[in-house]
């Protein structure tokens, strides 16, 4: 029995190293401008989605044409800075999300194929060990630790 091979690539180590360096460079370039949040911050802040980004951008446009409605307690300069950050970082976030998804999908697919093949090898070593092939026994014993099932403890029912 063979497994269906859906991915067959070899990524040169030089490509991995170059991508890693470029991602590190991107992170370093943006680091002075990025802000981390605590889980509590994430929970309490207003969330900006597609509709609300459009609202912010529309308000920016109205502020240019109808400045009389800008309240005195609103900091227009800070609003414009915040809107500019959203507008400039959103495409980068989308690209990073796409890259992360593509990497995750590729790792999942290659990992699935790798563990399937590893299980084939394990099964072969197990069978060889059960037939008394001496060189298979230590391999099987070593690998079998990875597949040891943890026994279920049945707790006695209270009567």
Q: For residue 23, what are its two tokens? A: 């991602």
Whole-number average pLDDT of the chain: 92
Mean pLDDT of 44-64: 93
% of the chain exceeding 70 in pLDDT: 92
The Cα 51–Cα 47 span in angstroms is 11
The answer, as to whether pTM is greater than 0.75, is: yes
Mean pLDDT of 53-75: 96
Name, in order, each residue with C-beta under 8 angstroms of 110's C-beta and a sequence gap of 6 or more.
7
What is the C-alpha radius of gyration for the chain, rounded to an integer number of angstroms? Answer: 28
The pLDDT of residue 50 is: 85
Cα distances (Å, whole numbers) of residue 20 to 15, 26, 27, 95, 159: 8, 10, 11, 16, 61
The pLDDT of residue 153 is: 59
Backbone angles phi, psi at 74, to 5 degrees: -95, 130
pLDDT in tens, 39-52: 999 999 999 888 89
Mean pLDDT of 78-83: 96
The pLDDT of residue 4 is: 84
Please tell me the least confidently modeled range out of 8-12, 106-110, 143-147, 149-153.
149-153
pLDDT in tens, 14-42: 999 999 999 999 999 999 999 999 999 99
User: Does 159 score more than 60 pLDDT?
Assistant: no
């Amino acid at each position: 029995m063979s497994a269906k091979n859906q991915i067959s690539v070899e990524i040169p180590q030089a490509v991995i190293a170059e991508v890693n360096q470029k991602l590190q460079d991107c992170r370093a370039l943006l680091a002075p401008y990025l802000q981390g949040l605590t889980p509590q911050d994430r929970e309490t802040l207003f969330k900006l989605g597609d509709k609300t980004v459009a609202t912010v951008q529309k308000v920016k446009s109205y502020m240019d044409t109808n400045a009389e409605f800008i309240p005195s307690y609103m900091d227009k300069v800070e609003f414009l800075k915040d809107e500019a950050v959203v507008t400039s970082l959103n495409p980068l976030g989308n690209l990073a999300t796409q890259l992360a998804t593509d990497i995750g999908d590729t790792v999942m697919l290659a990992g699935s194929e790798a563990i399937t093949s590893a299980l084939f090898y394990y099964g072969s070593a197990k069978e060889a060990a059960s037939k008394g092939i001496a060189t298979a026994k230590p391999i099987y014993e070593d690998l079998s630790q990875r597949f040891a099932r943890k026994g279920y403890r049945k707790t006695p029912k209270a009567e």
